[in-house]
Structure 1
Amino acid sequence: MAGETKAANPGAARPVRKQRLRLWIRLLRARQVIEAELRKRLRDRFDMTMPQFDVMAALERNPEGMTMSSLSEALMVSNGNVTGIIDRLMARKYVAREAFAGDRRRFIVRLTPAGLDQFRSVATQHESWVDELMSVVEIDQAENALGKLAARR
């Protein structure tokens, strides 16, 4: 049966399927560790939460702005959560909210020039942190394997 055979390593005691399960659990744990470290660094260095960073990233990719609903959908969080995040970013003058033309109940949210500058600074540091945290990974092997997984979709 596929996945029941022993690993190519003759000394391996676990079936391949158990090794794959263990790898899956390690991937999940690694994601948790990396995310926790990024959250801590964002908080300590920039007094910013990961959701605030994510909102700013979405707005940076959409310079024309986004409605609250489209932000909610893009980030897969509730409108209420997005509203709280936007309120905190507005207090720091990183985003501006304006009424949607023809519908006063809808808003368009955009990064302010100060917000764009701040986001670019934070994003540069974030990229550096990810590079540091991922430096133990053999990139070519990991990208090849994960690419095969993604291609199954």
Structure 2
Amino acid sequence: MTVRDPAQDTSDYRKDETRLWLSVLDAYNFVYPELNRQLKERSGISVSKFDVLAQLKRYPDGLSMGDLSARLKVSNGNVSGLVNRLRKDGLVDRSMSAEDRRSFVAVLTDAGQQRFEEAAKVHAAVLSECFRHLNAEDLAETTGVLKAIIRKPRDKGIPAND
């Protein structure tokens, strides 16, 4: 991949950047609403709730609210609201951290584990349908390009969703 020098930018290059940005938005606006709709209809949870459950699934001992917020790239207030709603649904428990009495740790309940497993099947099926027209090479190439976009911010300490 050739790296372009911003000092040598031409208007065509700027148009290419804009086209890329609009394509990313179009792809997001194609996939996200369908994923959210299907998850809600078929498993009773939104993409946002699914993302919380997915993070907690990866960390069986739980995550602090701050860590969860950083991994989801949302505010602490947003995470608190999501966790509170998931607690009401019986999918997540929240308790005071043993290491830091000022923070709370969220963990999956057994019901949360089961709901996540059901929702993960829906999630996979929707993504498979949305990307069915792409072959393995297209998927790998697109993933590589998108990871290249976020590589610089990641080098600065901003976590990525690997």
Q: Distance in 2 between matches of 1:144 and 1:45?
A: 31
Q: Counterpart of 2:43?
A: 46
Distance 1:22 1:131 in 2: 25
> Is 1:25–2:22 an aligned residue pair?
yes
Query: Over alpha carbons, which structure has the higher Rg?
Result: 1
Q: Normalization by structure 1: what TM-score? A: 0.79
Change (3 A) 1:21 1:143: farther
Query: How far did 1:150 drift?
Result: 3.3
Runs of 4+ in structure 1 off by over 6 angstroms are: none
**Equivalent position SS for 1:125:** helix
Q: Could you say what secondary structure the match of 1:93 adopts?
A: coil
Cα deviation for residue 120 of structure 1 reads 0.8
1:97 lines up with 2:94 in the alignment? yes
| Match runs of 1:1-150 below 5 Å | 22=19, 24-101=21-98, 103-144=100-141, 146-147=143-144, 150=147
1:116-138 deviation line (CA, Å, top 9, x unaligned): 01101101111011001110123
Q: Which runs of 5+ in 1 are unaligned?
A: 3-14
CA-CA distance at 1:49 after TM superposition: 1.5
Summarize the Cα distance change of 1:120–1:141 in structure 2 as closer, same or farther, 3 Å threshold: same
Distance 1:16 1:140 in 2: 26
Cα drift, residue 22 of structure 1: 3.6
CA apart distance, 1:145 = 5.1
Q: Note the alpha carbon deviations across 1:59-78, whole angstroms, 9 max, x for none.
A: 00111100111101111111
Structure 2 length as normaliser, TM-score?
Answer: 0.75
Are the structure 2 counterparts of residues 149 and 116 from structure 1 closer, same or farther at C-alpha, using a change threshold of 3 Å?
Answer: closer
Shift of the 68–133 alpha-carbon distance from structure 1 to 2, 3 Å rule, reads: same
CA offsets per residue over residues 82-122 of structure 1, 9 Å max, x none? 11101110011101111112544311110001110110110
Distance, in Å, in 2 between the alignment partners of 1:69 and 1:19 is 37
Structure 2 gaps of 5+ residues are 3-11, 152-162
Q: Distance in 1 between matches of 2:27 and 2:127?
A: 12
